[in-house]
A = this chain, B = another copy of it.
Amino acid sequence: MISDDLLKKYGAEKVHLVKREVLFGVDTLPRYYFQVISGKIKMNNFNEDGKEFIQGIFSEGLSFGEPPLLAELAYPAYAEAVANSIVWKLEKSKFLALLKENPETHLVLTKVLARRLHYKATMVAEISSESPEHRLLKLIDYFKTHIHKIPDEEPYLVELSRQQMADLIGLRVETVIRAIKSLEKKNILQLQSHKIVR
């Protein structure tokens, strides 16, 4: 999202994370801007009885955790490496200077936040009032068109596990599995040796 050159120029450092390593915890105060160089980071919550909710999955080039950094609020979730990863880490004050001195980059960031807010607004309405099948379809279609930018008519092979999908839309795996079966019967999506194609 922010170019490597610019990040280096402002003194960003690389952080290496092994799979399952936690980068920051929920309710802690942000001190850095983070952006994925390689690998995959997820932000997630756990309720009292350990049920996970995935706020987002961030891969190469994407930043994460900027909202609380900008709003001066505690992190609303954990950040955990889904795979071995490398991320840029830039001190808050340097990040703010970067934004100030690079208005085009600032606008890019604003648009990123806007897009994320749009995703959250869509998902929260889904989660609060739609059926498992509806929620699942919205999620898959969101990933197809917005994350991977695949045209409607081209097939999309879903890379998410059933558990991950469940955690992204607030359901249990079994419910997701049953919803997938039902959607397949209705020919709304296809299964190719357990992989979902939409």
A residues engaging B (CB < 8 A)?
45, 47, 51, 53, 55, 66-71, 73, 76-77, 99-100, 103, 106-107, 109-111, 113-118, 120-125, 127-130, 169-170
Contact = CB atoms under 8 A, between A and B. Distances in A.
Copy number in the complex reads: 2
Contacts of A113: 67, 110, 113-114, 117
Query: Chain A: interface secondary structure?
Result: helix
A98 to B, nearest CB: 12
A30 to B, nearest CB: 10
Contacts of A124: 53, 55, 120, 123-124, 127, 170
A121 B170 contact: no
A122 B122 CA distance: 15
Interface pairs A-B: 8 shortest CB-CB? A128-B170, A70-B114, A120-B120, A67-B114, A71-B114, A67-B117, A45-B125, A47-B129
Nearest to A120: B120
